[in-house]
């Protein structure tokens, strides 16, 4: 298949490849199974070194054990890379080995019985700190959240479970454009071969409305609710709860390469939901109340995600599990994948009824282990909350300014 696609591309002409160098869409809030190497880094313009006088107090408001697990997963990822490979931290070249040493040193600090004040001081002594400049250069980013949804599903199609969750079709073709032009290094396109031409892959409307993948044995499972499947695509992973009480993780395996389009923005533009009221919960409620508009609105987003069933998950784009409360998703073109970071933002406080009663300060060490189609540029961060009611509420309503810092061991 790869050889055939190569000749098809040659037949199309090299101009097609150059024309495709516009940034292709990334998975929609969806992790890639495994990245064998750190992608192209361009962190110089978006990170700036923080002088000692400007360093924050490195407090942490959550348990140590999940942080240790997240550190171990990042070390697992870096262990697959060449230790001499250079990454860019604010214009400074840093080897993979030095990043690994940073994670190990930080892990050793966690094992020491230090007071919060002494811990913060040790971090300042041992690590160089880089702050993200943000979209406008003021150090502020928009922090949102994502979670692992639980979906009622079946292994067989029925009237109660009519909506497919698809595996990756065998005709999906991914082309690394960097192999054809240095100008396109790090870029890719996804499509399918039609005759002797490489064409865009089917859209959401093609797949769900026109049933272009039906009858090919690609169904990994069947869901009871189409909106559940749509939000599974948005989150990029989830857990399927089957009728017999068993469950499996459903993890991102691929996508159709179409650009992500926000249905929330569509409904705001149409005046159907006020911008200040927009949330995942509000969006779901509108879709349930307007079944005659559901297909039109969902098909506004042509991007489509394919999945694989697994006993483990969910996984981030570093090819390792993401840890609730400790993993974040950033634009992997700009930030060092797998690296240690520190965030300051807000987190929800729930009342006895399970509603958000207030938002309080959150200060926490995290690992950059994921990415997403909507998480683009230096002004966006998506926080992984895990699964359950709290995670769903936090992911649905979190939309606060925040600050992001990266830490690397001093020379």
The pLDDT of residue 183: 87
For tokens 């995290």, name the residue.
Answer: 366
315: nearest Cα among 1, 65, 76, 43: 76
Q: Phi and psi at residue 212, in whole multiples of 5°?
A: -65, -20
Pairing of strands 141-146, 400-409: antiparallel
Residues 6+ apart with CB under 8 A from 51: none
The pLDDT of residue 213: 97
DSSP result, 10-68: HHH-HHHHHHTTSPPPPPSS---S--SSPPPP--TTTEEEPPGGGPPP----S-HHHHH
Domains of the chain: 2-30+149-261+301-310 (2.40.240.50), 47-147+320-409 (2.40.40.10)
CA separation for the pair 6, 182 (Å, rounded): 17
Dihedral sign for Cα 241, 242, 246, 247, please: negative
The pLDDT of residue 21: 37
pLDDT tens digits in sequence order for the chain, 411 residues long: 223 333 333 333 333 333 333 333 333 333 334 443 444 444 457 999 999 999 999 999 999 999 999 999 999 999 999 999 998 877 788 999 999 999 999 999 999 999 999 999 999 999 999 999 998 889 999 999 999 999 999 999 999 999 999 999 999 999 998 899 888 877 889 999 999 999 999 999 999 999 999 999 999 999 999 999 999 998 888 999 999 999 999 999 999 999 999 999 999 999 999 998 888 889 999 999 999 999 999 999 999 999 999 998 899 888 899 999 999 999 988 999 999 999 999 999 988 887 888 999 999 999 999 987 778 899 999 999 999 889 988 988 888 999 999 999 998
Pairing of strands 380-384, 141-146: parallel
Beta partners for 251?
Answer: 237, 308
The pLDDT of residue 235: 87
The pLDDT of residue 279: 85
The pLDDT of residue 11: 37
**Which two three-digit tokens encode residue 89?**
């931290």
Look up the pTM and report it. 0.77
CA separation for the pair 260, 218 (Å, rounded): 23
340: nearest Cα among 103, 84, 133: 103
The pLDDT of residue 16: 34
CA separation for the pair 390, 31 (Å, rounded): 22
409: nearest Cα among 103, 132, 121: 103
Query: Could you give the angle at the alpha carbon of 114 between the alpha carbons of 113 and 115, nearest 5°?
Result: 130
């Amino acid at each position: 298949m790869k050889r055939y696609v190569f000749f098809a591309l040659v037949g199309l002409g090299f101009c097609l490849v150059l024309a495709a160098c516009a940034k292709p869409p990334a998975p929609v809030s969806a992790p890639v199974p495994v990245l064998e190497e750190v992608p192209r880094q361009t962190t110089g313009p978006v990170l700036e070194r923080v002088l000692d006088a400007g360093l924050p107090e490195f407090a942490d408001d959550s348990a140590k054990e999940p942080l240790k697990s997240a550190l171990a997963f990042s070390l697992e990822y870096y262990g697959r890379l060449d230790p001499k490979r250079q990454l860019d931290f604010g214009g400074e070249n840093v080897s993979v080995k030095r990043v690994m040493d940073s994670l190990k040193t930080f892990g050793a600090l966690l094992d020491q019985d230090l007071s919060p004040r002494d811990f913060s001081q040790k971090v300042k002594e041992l690590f160089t700190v880089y702050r993200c400049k943000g979209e406008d250069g003021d150090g502020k980013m928009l922090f949102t959240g994502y979670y692992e949804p639980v979906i009622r599903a079946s292994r067989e199609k029925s009237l109660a479970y009519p909506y497919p969750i698809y595996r990756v079709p065998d005709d999906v073709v991914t082309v690394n454009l960097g192999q054809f032009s240095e100008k396109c290094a790090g870029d890719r396109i996804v499509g399918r071969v039609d005759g002797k031409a490489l064409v865009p892959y089917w859209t959401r409307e093609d797949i769900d409305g026109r049933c272009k993948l039906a009858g090919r044995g690609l169904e990994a499972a069947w869901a009871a609710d189409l909106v559940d499947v749509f939000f599974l695509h948005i989150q990029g992973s989830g857990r399927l709860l089957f009728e017999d009480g068993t469950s499996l993780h459903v993890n991102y395996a691929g996508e159709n390469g179409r650009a992500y389009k926000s249905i929330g923005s569509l409904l705001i533009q149409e005046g159907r939901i006020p911008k200040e009221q927009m949330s995942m919960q509000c969006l779901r409620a509108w879709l349930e109340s307007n079944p005659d508009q559901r297909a039109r609105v969902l098909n506004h987003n042509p991007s489509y995600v394919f999945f694989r069933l697994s006993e483990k998950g969910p996984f981030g784009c570093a090819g390792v599990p993401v840890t609730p409360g400790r993993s974040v998703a950033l634009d992997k073109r700009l930030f060092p994948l797998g690296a240690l970071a520190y965030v300051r933002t807000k987190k929800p406080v729930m009342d006895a009824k399970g509603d958000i009663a207030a938002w309080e300060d959150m200060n926490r060490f995290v690992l950059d282990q994921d990415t997403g189609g909507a998480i683009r540029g230096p002004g966006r961060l998506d926080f992984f909350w895990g699964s359950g009611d709290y995670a769903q509420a936090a992911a649905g309503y979190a939309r606060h300014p925040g600050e992001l810092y990266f830490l690397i061991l001093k020379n």
